[in-house]
Amino acid sequence: MIKESYLLAKNVFGLGVHPFKTLRALEREKDRSQELLLSGLPVIILVGGAGVVWLGRRVLATSSEWGVGATTMAAGVAVMAILSAGYLSYWWTRVWLKK
């Protein structure tokens, strides 16, 4: 688990610095677990962000109505998940077409 966490952190950093090289290395090494984790990154962002919004609402003991802060944060998390899905799709497509 420690090794997979380290590799995930390394690959997420690699996506920001040199995405084509990172994804191509994963494809070449046939590391399916890391490919799955990176492909699921938008879902991880969405679930983690929803957890933070939920926890924040519980800690602040807010009412059942969503305020401006919670709505803004939920929209921000959704936008981040969509942008990361588009970014990953673009680079996975580039790697796949380069084969």
Residues 54-74 have pLDDT tens digits of 888 878 777 777 778 778 888
- CA separation for the pair 20, 16 (Å, rounded): 10
List the end-to-end C-alpha distance of the chain, in Å, as a whole number: 31
Q: Is the pLDDT of residue 53 over 80?
A: yes
* Other C-beta atoms lying within 10 Å of the C-beta of residue 6: 10
Angle formed by the axes of helices 41-59 and 68-98, to 10°? 170
Q: What is the pLDDT of residue 81?
A: 94
- CA separation for the pair 89, 73 (Å, rounded): 24
Q: What is the pLDDT of residue 22?
A: 87
CA nearest neighbour of 88 among 32, 38, 25: 38
Helices (H), 1-99: 2-17, 19-29, 32-39, 41-59, 68-98
Q: What are the tens digits of pLDDT across the range 10-24?
A: 888 988 899 998 888
